[in-house]
Amino acid sequence: MGGALGLVISLFLSALSLLAVARLLPGFEVRGGMRSALVVALVYGVLKVLLQKALILVSLPFVLVTFGAFVLVINAFLLWLTDKVLERFEIRSLGTLIVGTLLLTAMDFVCRIFVQGGGFF
């Protein structure tokens, strides 16, 4: 699924993922329900689009040495940045940030498979 429909579905699935993590993880809070989750998903998505590739390039030695695991650190930074930009979104501790990043990354992986309509390979 490409184009505008794919972006809308991805945004909606990201918002649902944020709400699921907020429900599962104490200290990870999205205030305001689905509308706020959509805003948080949009801001996080824009930050990822604008900064993720540049941050990966700058930290390429770490990404290579850790076989890509350092991308989780970059995603955690972007999630933390989203927390700082929006009042309706709060992550209360470093541990919550780490677990929340892992959960969102796993959910994002599953959602991408769904949206792109492919299998694992």
| Tokens matching residue 6 | 């794919």
* 121 found inside a domain: no
Domain count, the chain: 1
Residue 16 is part of which domain span?
Answer: 3-116
* 21 found inside a domain: yes
* 108 found inside a domain: yes
pLDDT by residue (tens digit) across 10-68?
A: 899 999 999 999 999 999 999 999 999 999 999 999 999 999 999 999 999 999 999 99
Contact call for residues 43 and 86 (beta carbons, < 8 A): yes
Amino acid at 95: G
* 82 found inside a domain: yes
Model-level pTM greater than 0.75? yes
Contact call for residues 104 and 17 (beta carbons, < 8 A): yes
* 9 found inside a domain: yes
